[in-house]
Amino acid sequence: MTTFDDRERAAEARWAGAAETEFRVLSRAKRALAVWAAQSLGQQDGAAEITAQRLLQADLEGHLPVPEAVVRLLAGHVTRTEIESHYQHLLDLAHAAEGAPEAPPHAH
């Protein structure tokens, strides 16, 4: 092993760790946004959970990202700006929970 090989492996490990952390952050924020959207429509407990799961499944399958799905779901109830602001807040909270630095706005 050379010093270069060691450095390369260390860099790859840091990148993989950062990517995993960002995945967890985005997953946590998207889930929280989906639940918030359902609750904003007056849904509680089981109904809110079902709606959130549907939004998350559509995102996972690549049909519609959760933030855009929430904009469509809440059209006429909450503005896009309010949703984007709330999503950014949730991302900040998720980064804090993971111990990760906050990402710049709309870097997702």
Do 56 and 30 meet the contact criterion of CB atoms below 8 Å apart?
yes
Structurally, the chain folds into a number of domains equal to: 1
Tell me whether residue 25 is in a domain.
no
> Measured between alpha carbons, how far is 15 from 18 in angstroms, rounded to an integer?
5
Note the pLDDT of residue 85. Answer: 93
- The verdict on residue 3 lying in a domain is no
> What is the rounded distance in angstroms from the CA atom of residue 88 to the CA atom of residue 104?
9
Separation CA 38–CA 64 (nearest Å): 16
Q: Residue 108: inside a domain, yes or no?
A: no
Domain for residue 31, yes or no? no
Domain that includes residue 81, residue range: 45-102
pTM for this model (two decimals): 0.72
DSSP classification of residue 101: P
Which amino acid is located at 90 in the chain? Answer: L
Residue 33 belongs to a domain: no
pLDDT tens digits for 90-103?
999 999 998 866 55
Instruction: Tell me, yes or no, whether 80 lies in a domain.
Output: yes
- For residue range 2-43, list pLDDT tens digits in order: 886 777 777 777 776 688 889 999 999 999 999 999 999 999
Is 97 a member of any domain? yes
